[in-house]
């Protein structure tokens, strides 16, 4: 009863529950914070509980205490007024603070002490909570598995010591508020699973690079040139080493008449208009010189109209237009093997190791576990079948190779989010994506006749090259392709061959036959119903109507929207031009901008050529084999294609 008299109206179930919650939460905050500081460990869910759940629990508990006390006091006061209860003193409308009363004085002291403790605990929790929301643990691990691909790539990047917020938010309150508002939308998406299975890039509201990147990489301090040595290995039996010694003109060549270099692009006023969200197809470029003169370069094959230029969204060129993956870097299977060879993590004397590993890595797997199992099974099986002596003599080397190949898969393939090394184009260079050739293609011309050159010497020069088809001691000052491809070396983009269809094509070499694990099987073709044909034709007709109403640029963007109106399961639209160049694709926008005129399906059929020849007659159907985005297997497909002006719109049916 003594305790009840001291706590007064707070002696009730609601207030007591509140006290227990508040005290427990405060204790947990102190214990968990101390544990984190002593152990120097940071865990996403531990931080979530310590700095969000427990403080919320503490505040909720403290609110229950006065609510319960007010409820009891109000009930007793009403009962007294109505004469139902007799008390020694009447209960006034509002509480009276009488410090001469020992009970009230003790309660007041307790309240002051508890308030101080509450303020201290909440202050610590607020500060630590803010720090937690700024941490890479919060950004990368809390929304698992949504951010797993990007977080994994960041951990293995040159900027792994740079926190996410330093680039994605930067200093200042304005962008901090924008980031938190955007974060609330993302939190909603994670909680209710409304997020896209593949996170789309580039981010529309990303802070300009001049306000983030240039805090460390400022243009005034760019070096004149940088020498870089590229190490590659041939996909042949000997995994023959290849070495290219290159001088890259980052800041220009002081010996040249015009000393500009690659970083001239961000030191000048350059803007452009793109047709697609990934900024691959760039038909319009504008350059303003120091005197204010504007020079406009138009794609001579597919120029924009004046109306499209006027309505188009212009983007000011900055660092991220080329360095669009400075941190979240994914490596192709071929690059991964090359890095392991040059660092001696994999024994280069294992015959055809590069060819075998790239082939295994390129297969579509539904889960990571399936991929790991295939790697662990098929690489040893290949050597046991084809090189039994090597399998026995180099058993440990093969085991090590399996471990490293699994590591390549783990860091660059994420089936749960439908992400792999080719999902996000990397615009640095031009090996796997158009990159530099988005603009430097000899096809962008100004009204005065000036052309944006595709010359290699603009950006780099070869200092030396070692390769299996170059005699030892030969002085090389121009790039030599491993296989003589004639004029195609300059007329065709590297990415047209090396990443055709989104797969890593490492080059020529006697391909190994993986008897223990053949390529993904293709299912037998089944007849296409009239209803399916009508549905495919109707989707194309719908796109034609959309094109007439909204124009080409908006139509291509809409067709390439993986969540748009022109994607229905495994049925989607694609658009190519009369040269076989992909202009839009409903489920794999990374194909946009690449040429497929010489692309063949598994049966050796040049079906893009068939698209063009059939469409030139107006419309028709073409049979071929292609990867089904739902089953991730190569399956028979028939597509309806229709010529609309200078583009071909198609829609297929998997059989």
pLDDT, tens only, 507-517? 554 445 454 44
pLDDT at site 521: 42
pLDDT at site 519: 40
Coil, helix or strand at residue 465: strand
Coil, helix or strand at residue 537: helix
- Beta-bridge partners for 296: 286
pLDDT at site 517: 42
pLDDT at site 335: 94
pLDDT at site 523: 43
User: Rounded to the nearest 10 degrees, how much is the dihedral formed by the CA atoms of 173, 174, 176, 180?
Assistant: 130
Kindly give the parts of the chain with pLDDT less than 70: 1-8, 42, 44, 79-91, 144, 219-223, 252-260, 500-527, 630-632
pLDDT at site 526: 53
User: Rounded to the nearest 10 degrees, how much is the dihedral formed by the CA atoms of 586, 589, 590, 591?
Assistant: 50
DSSP string of 547-616, one letter each residue: HHHH-HHHHHHHHT-TTSTTEETTEEEEEEETTSBEEEESS-GGGTT-B-TT---TT---HHHHHHHHHT
Interior/surface letters 232-263, b for 16+ CB within 10 angstroms, e for the rest: bbbbbeebbbbebebbbbbbbbeeeeeeebbb
pLDDT at site 283: 94
pLDDT at site 522: 42
pLDDT at site 405: 97
**For the chain, what is the total number of helices (H) and then of strands (E)?**
21, 16
The answer to pTM > 0.75 is no
pLDDT at site 234: 92
């Amino acid at each position: 009863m003594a305790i009840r008299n001291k706590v007064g109206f707070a002696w009730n179930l609601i207030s007591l529950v509140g006290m227990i919650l508040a005290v427990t939460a405060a204790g947990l905050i102190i214990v968990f914070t101390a544990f984190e500081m002593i152990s120097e460990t940071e865990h996403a869910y531990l931080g979530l509980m310590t700095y969000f759940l427990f403080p919320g629990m503490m505040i909720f508990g403290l609110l229950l205490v006065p609510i319960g006390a007010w409820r009891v006091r109000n009930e007793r006061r009403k009962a007294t007024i109505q004469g139902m209860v007799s008390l020694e003193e009447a209960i006034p409308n509002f509480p009276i603070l009488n410090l001469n009363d020992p009970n009230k004085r003790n309660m007041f002291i307790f309240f002051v002490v508890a308030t101080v403790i509450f303020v201290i605990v909440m202050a610590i929790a607020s500060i630590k909570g803010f720090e937690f929301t700024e941490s890479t643990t919060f950004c990368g691990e809390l929304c698992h598995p949504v951010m797993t691909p990007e977080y994994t790539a960041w951990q293995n990047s040159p900027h792994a010591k740079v926190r996410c917020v330093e680039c994605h938010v930067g200093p200042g309150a304005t962008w901090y508020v924008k980031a938190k508002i955007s974060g609330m939308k993302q939190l909603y998406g994670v909680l209710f699973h409304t997020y896209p299975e593949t996170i789309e890039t580039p981010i529309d509201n990303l802070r300009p690079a001049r306000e983030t990147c240039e805090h460390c990489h400022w243009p005034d301090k760019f070096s004149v040139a940088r020498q870089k040595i590229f190490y590659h290995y041939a996909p042949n039996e000997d995994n023959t080493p290849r070495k290219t010694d290159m001088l890259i003109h980052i800041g220009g060549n002081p010996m040249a008449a015009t000393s500009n270099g690659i970083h001239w692009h961000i030191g000048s006023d350059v803007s452009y208009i793109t047709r697609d969200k990934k900024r691959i197809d760039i038909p319009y470029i504008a350059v303003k010189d120091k005197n204010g003169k504007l020079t406009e370069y138009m794609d001579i094959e597919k120029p924009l109209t004046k109306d499209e230029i006027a309505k188009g969204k212009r983007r000011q060129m900055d660092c991220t237009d080329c360095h669009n993956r400075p941190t979240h870097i994914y490596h192709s299977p071929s690059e991964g093997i090359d890095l392991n060879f040059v660092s001696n993590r994999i024994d280069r004397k294992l015959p055809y190791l590069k060819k075998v590993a790239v082939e295994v890595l390129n297969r579509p797997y539904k889960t990571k576990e399936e991929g790991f199992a295939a790697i662990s099974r098929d690489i040893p099986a290949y050597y046991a079948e084809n090189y039994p002596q090597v399998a026995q003599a180099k058993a440990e080397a093969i085991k090590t190779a399996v471990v490293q190949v699994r590591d390549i898969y783990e860091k660059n393939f994420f089936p749960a989010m439908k992400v792999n090394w080719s999902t996000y184009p990397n615009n640095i260079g031009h090996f796997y994506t158009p990159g530099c050739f988005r603009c430097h293609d000899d096809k962008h011309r100004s009204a005065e006749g000036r052309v944006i050159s595709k010359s290699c010497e603009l950006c780099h020069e070869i200092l030396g090259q070692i390769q299996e088809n170059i005699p030892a001691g030969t002085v090389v000052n121009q790039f030599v392709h491993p296989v003589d491809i004639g004029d195609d070396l300059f007329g065709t983009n590297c990415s047209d061959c090396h990443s055709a269809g989104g797969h890593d094509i490492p080059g020529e070499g006697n391909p190994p036959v993986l008897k223990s694990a053949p390529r993904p099987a293709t299912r037998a073709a089944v007849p296409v119903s009239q209803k399916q044909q009508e549905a495919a034709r109707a989707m194309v007709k719908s796109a034609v109507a959309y094109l007439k109403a909204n124009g080409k640029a908006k139509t291509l963007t809409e067709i390439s929207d993986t969540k748009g109106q022109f994607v229905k399961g495994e049925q989607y639209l694609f658009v190519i031009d009369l040269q076989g160049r992909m202009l839009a694709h409903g489920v794999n926008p990374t194909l946009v901008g690449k040429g497929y005129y010489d692309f063949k399906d598994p049966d050796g059929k040049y079906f893009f050529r068939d698209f063009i020849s059939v469409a030139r007659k107006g419309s028709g159907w073409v049979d071929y084999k292609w990867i089904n985005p739902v089953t991730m297997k190569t399956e028979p497909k028939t597509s309806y294609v229709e010529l609309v002006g200078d583009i071909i719109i198609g829609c297929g049916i998997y059989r």
